[in-house]
Amino acid sequence: ISTRRGNISLTARCEPSVPEGLIFMPFCYPDAAANILTNPALDPTGKIPELKFAAAKLEKHIS
């Protein structure tokens, strides 16, 4: 998975509950790999990071 802020390699799993065209990753832990892919900026009022909107590219990696 890559974004303009970084990229990570991981094992993906397709789930019927996740709509086609969307990627879901847990991000609620400080050391979660998803956090390097998102914008670190905070909302000026609520001080909440924008974690749920990020363009990402998913590519199959063959090792």
What do you get for the CA distance between the two ends of the chain, in Å?
Answer: 15
Q: Which helix (H) or strand (E) holds 6?
A: strand 6-7
**How far apart (Å, rounded) are the C-alpha atoms in residues 35 and 8?**
10
Q: What is the pLDDT of residues 25-45, one digit of tens each?
A: 887 777 778 878 888 888 889
The reported pTM is 0.67
Its domain, for residue 15, covers: 1-63
Number of structural domains the chain divides into? 1
Alpha-helical segments (H) within the chain: none
Whose tokens are 């363009």? That residue is 55
Q: Is the pLDDT of residue 50 over 80?
A: no
Q: Using pLDDT thresholds of 50, 70 and 90, give the confidence band for residue 17.
A: very high
